[in-house]
Amino acid sequence: MACYVAADFTSSHPLEYQVMVAQLTIFFFHAEDILEHKPEVLRRLQLNIATGQPCGDPVLDWYARELTPRLWQHFDPLVANMIVIACYDFINGIGIESLTKDVELHPEAPNFPDWLRFKTGLSPMYSLLALARTSDRKLPTGGFEKFVQVIPDVIVFTNIVNDVISFYKELLAGETGNYIDMRAQNDKVSVLIALRNVADEGIRVRERVLAALADEPEYRANFEVYAKGITRFHTSSPRYRMMELFGSL
């Protein structure tokens, strides 16, 4: 599945770049599996990396000792830093999510759903990877300032695509505590109205990103490829069960 993610999300980028995206994606999928079986390994990951200790899992050791250092060979240091922080934030986010999945949202904590979604969605990393200009020898190096202002909206767009398309499979599985559920509680509406509202937000955010990148055609084209690719990935993957609703489109 990691290869499909890389091919769909970054199809406008060179193969070497897509391989790196696939490798980062493998780390995330594996981390979710570890959380279910060995949560303490994830809780101690950053401590073990900081102190040079084994991570307690061969894939995590590979990520920390081999994959992560390569990021600074390709990216501007700021971008590489942000990608690594996004990985750590994901680890923290899924840990928090597992602790709060059955907890009702407090009416005086309205920003909690968006804060948690920012951590668990992988969107801060994929947003950076998707917009890198293919003609840059070092990818975003030297061009980051030209698209950095749209990163918050690309993050929101990424999360919304996942939240909206994941809702059906989560509904069938009886899962609660997802972003749509929390939005419904927060906005005091039904989950279907919340789903529609979030989907409409995604459309508006996409248009905003395209408008902001109007003077940067290559970055704009990369975002368009990413927007189509992430939608195609989610709608075609059996994981999300969209074909049960629409068949083969």
Stretch 194-223: mean pLDDT: 94
In a domain, 46, yes or no: yes
Total domains, the chain: 1
Average pLDDT over residues 3-21: 84
pLDDT tens for each residue of 77-128: 888 899 999 999 998 988 898 888 788 888 899 899 889 988 887 899 999 8
d(CA 74, CA 69): 10
Establish if 19 belongs to a structural domain.
yes
- Going by the DSSP 8-state scheme, the letter that residue 105 receives in this structure is P
Averaged pLDDT for residues 191-207 = 96
pLDDT band at 218 (very low <50, low <70, confident <90, very high): confident
Residue pair 235/166 in contact (Cβ under 8 Å)? The answer is: no
Contact assessment for residue 131 and residue 140, using Cβ atoms and an 8 Å cutoff: yes
**Are 213 and 223 contacting, i.e. CB atoms less than 8 angstroms apart?**
yes
Find the mean pLDDT for residues 20-28: 88
| 226 inside domain | yes
Q: Which pLDDT belongs to residue 220?
A: 93
Structure pTM?
0.84
Structure tokens at 4: 């499909």
Q: Which domain holds residue 167?
A: 2-236
Distance separating alpha carbons of residues 172 and 245, to the nearest angstrom:
12
Q: Nearest CA to 116 among 134, 133, 99, 139?
A: 99
Exposure string over 6-39, b if 16+ CB within 10 A, otherwise e: bbbbbebbeeebbebbbbbbbbbebbeebbeeee
User: Regarding predicted confidence, which is higher, 21 or 75?
Assistant: 21
Alpha-carbon dihedral 202, 219, 6, 244, rounded to 10 degrees: 30
Count of Cβ atoms closer than 10 Å to residue 66 Cβ: 10
For residue 7, what is the enclosing H or E element?
helix 2-9
Convert the pLDDT of each residue in 136-190 to its tens digit. Answer: 555 545 578 888 999 999 999 999 998 888 888 888 878 777 889 989 988 999 9
61 located within any domain: yes
- Residue 74 forms part of a structural domain: yes
The pLDDT of 178-203, averaged and rounded, is 93
Judge whether 157 lies within some domain.
Answer: yes
What would the two tokens of residue 62 be? 């590979």
38 half-sphere exposure, CB direction, 13 A CA radius: 13
Reported confidence tier of residue 12, pLDDT bands at 50, 70, 90: confident
Which pair of tokens denotes residue 84?
Answer: 């690594």
**pLDDT tens digit sequence for 27-81:** 888 887 787 788 888 889 999 999 999 999 999 999 999 999 988 887 778 888 9
- The model's confidence at residue 237, banded by pLDDT at 50, 70 and 90, is confident
pLDDT at 214: 96
**Residue 241 pLDDT exceeds 80:** no
* CATH code of the domain containing 63: 1.10.600.10
Q: Which tokens belong to 124?
A: 């801060």
Q: How confident is the model at residue 248 (pLDDT cuts 50, 70, 90)?
A: low
Maximum Cα–Cα distance for the chain, whole Å? 51
One-letter identity of residue 32:
E
Whether pLDDT at 135 is above 80: no
